[in-house]
């Protein structure tokens, strides 16, 4: 990227989210093929509002003239590692964040990461651990980051977590994909389908607008409250999660990103998945089923029907 020289700035005031909104969204539009919805200004601003707690904002930004060309969305926060308290610098994230990454134009990736690492180690007295959780080894930023850390002689490690998420690139049609599963898998899924369809009148609804979300909001939260995750405080309806997801649904619907799939049996919602569809990807963020219908495996049935639909329209995702 020729032209004006680069400058770097660290922003610690949460008001920066408002100041950066236009530039952040413009940068994400340019990086559509490289990023996910978890890199969006919408996601991070909403996350900060509900989950930031005592974390300190640490937005490392790169500018070319007045254009924002790179963002490291970081926080400084105290964590417990193996029972030991540590001061960490890491991505703005928690278990709701399926992917984390740096948001940077490809042409200046190496320079951006060099300056970021330099800046972090110049402030090493303020932290004990760098915690870049959930950055995928498939990310274009991953190898340059690792190379820089190794060049600095820094010890690093990648840890697989239960939140590492698989993905599917739809190709062909649903019938061929299903036929390619193992015989045991096909038999199991067919049994689940037959069992659900014999239980009563089955219907599936995809909620895309805010009005549609409001019309079934109480049903969604009821299913979440009756799920097994509610018992461990991890459902979509638990504590702060409810406010976070309701706000996220409102903002996502306004951008055309909302995609909530609900399964009904005899006009009663018994399972749902909360998705966001943006930047050419559809992310299944949360899924719940009513434990009173667990014997029907409603979550598995719903996921099967969602995949079938995605195969039918994968060219538009």
Given a contact cutoff of 8 angstroms between Cβ atoms, the answer to whether 116 and 110 are in contact is no
Confidence of residue 104 (pLDDT cuts 50, 70, 90): very high
Residues in CB range of 311: below 8 A, 6 or more apart: 170, 172, 173, 174, 177
Residue 164 counted as domain residue? no
Q: Which pLDDT does position 134 carry in this prediction?
A: 87
Q: Is there a single domain that holds both residue 65 and residue 138?
A: yes
Mind giving me the DSSP string for 127-145? Answer: -SEEE-TT--TTSTTHHHH
Mean pLDDT, rounded, for 280-291: 93
pTM of the model as a whole = 0.91
Which pLDDT value is given to residue 160? 59
Residue 155's pLDDT band (boundaries 50, 70, 90)? Answer: confident
Handedness of CA 41, 42, 47, 50 (dihedral sign): positive
- In angstroms, the CA 170 to CA 317 distance is 10
Q: Per residue in 188-234, pLDDT tens?
A: 999 999 999 999 999 999 999 999 999 999 999 999 999 999 988 88
> Is residue 163 assigned to a domain?
no
- The yes-or-no verdict on residue 317 having pLDDT over 60 is no
Q: What is the distance between the alpha carbons of residues 296 and 4, in angstroms, rounded to a whole number?
A: 61
Written as six digits, the tokens of 233 are: 């405080």
pLDDT at 166: 64
Share of the chain above pLDDT 70, in %: 95
CATH number at residue 49: 3.40.630.30
Any domain includes 69: yes
Mean pLDDT, residues 114-125 taken together: 94
Q: Are residues 215 and 122 in the same domain?
A: no
| Secondary structure class of 85 (helix, strand, coil) | strand
Please report which confidence band the pLDDT of residue 314 belongs to, taking 50, 70 and 90 as the band edges: low
Residue-number span of the structural domain to which 191 is assigned:
174-316
Predicted pLDDT at 299: 97
Mean pLDDT of 165-174: 75
- Whether 186 and 88 map to the same domain: the answer is no
Contact residues for 97 (Cβ-Cβ < 8 A; gap 6+): 38, 43, 47, 91, 134
Segment holding 115, helix H or strand E? helix 109-122
DSSP three-state, residue 109: helix
Q: What is the rounded distance in angstroms from the CA atom of residue 35 to the CA atom of residue 5?
A: 25
| Residue closest to 49 by CA, chosen among 294, 273, 244, 227 | 244
- Beta bridge partners, 57, equal 75
Q: Of the candidates 151, 182, 208, which is a domain's last residue? A: 151
pLDDT above 90 covers a percentage of the chain that reads: 77
The answer, yes or no, to whether residue 238 has pLDDT greater than 80, is: yes
The predicted-structure confidence for 120-144, as pLDDT tens digits, reads as follows 999 999 999 898 988 988 899 999 9
Of 233, 212, 235, 232, the C-alpha closest to 223 is 235
In a domain, residue 312? The reply is yes
**Mean per-residue pLDDT for 255-267?**
97
User: Is the pLDDT at 316 greater than 60, yes or no?
Assistant: no
Q: What is the pLDDT of residues 83-98, one digit of tens each?
A: 889 999 999 999 899 8
Q: Is the confidence at residue 54, as pLDDT, over 70?
A: yes
In sequence order, what are the residues at sequence separation of 6 or more whose Cβ sits closer than 8 angstroms to the Cβ of residue 296? Answer: 192, 195, 196, 199, 265, 270
What is the Cα–Cα distance from 68 to 7, expressed in whole angstroms? 10
| The token pair that represents 240 in the structure block | 């702060």
Number of domains observed in the structure of the chain: 2
């Amino acid at each position: 990227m020729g032209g004006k020289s680069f400058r770097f700035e660290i922003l610690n005031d949460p008001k920066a989210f408002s100041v950066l909104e236009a530039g952040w969204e413009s940068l994400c539009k340019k990086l559509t093929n490289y990023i996910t919805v978890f890199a969006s200004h919408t996601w991070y601003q909403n996350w900060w509002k509900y989950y930031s707690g005592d974390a300190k904002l640490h937005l490392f930004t790169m500018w070319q003239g007045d254009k924002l060309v790179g963002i490291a969305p970081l926080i400084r926060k105290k964590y417990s590692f193996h029972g030991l308290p540590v001061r960490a610098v890491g991505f703005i994230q928690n278990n709701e964040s399926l992917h984390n990454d740096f948001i940077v134009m490809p042409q200046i990736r190496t320079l951006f990461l060099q300056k970021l690492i330099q800046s972090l180690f110049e402030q090493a007295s303020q932290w004990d651990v760098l915690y870049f959780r959930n950055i995928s080894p498939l990310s274009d930023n991953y190898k340059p980051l690792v190379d820089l850390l190794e060049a600095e002689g820094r010890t690093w490690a990648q840890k697989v977590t239960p939140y590492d998420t698989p993905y599917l690139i739809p190709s062909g049609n649903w019938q061929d994909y299903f036929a390619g599963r193992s015989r045991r898998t096909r038999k199991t899924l067919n049994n689940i389908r037959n069992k659900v369809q014999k239980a009563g009148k089955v219907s599936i609804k995809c909620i895309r607008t805010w009005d549609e979300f409001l019309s079934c909001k109480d049903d969604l939260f009821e299913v979440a409250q009756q799920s097994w995750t509610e018992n461990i405080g991890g459902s979509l309806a638990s504590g702060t999660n409810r406010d976070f997801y309701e706000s996220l649904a409102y903002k996502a619907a306004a951008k055309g990103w909302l995609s909530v799939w609900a399964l009904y049996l005899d006009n009663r919602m018994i399972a749902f998945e909360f998705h966001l569809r943006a930047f050419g990807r559809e992310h299944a963020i949360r899924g719940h089923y009513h434990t009173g219908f667990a014997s029907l495996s409603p979550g598995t049935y719903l996921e099967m029907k969602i995949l079938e639909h995605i195969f039918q329209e994968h060219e538009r995702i």
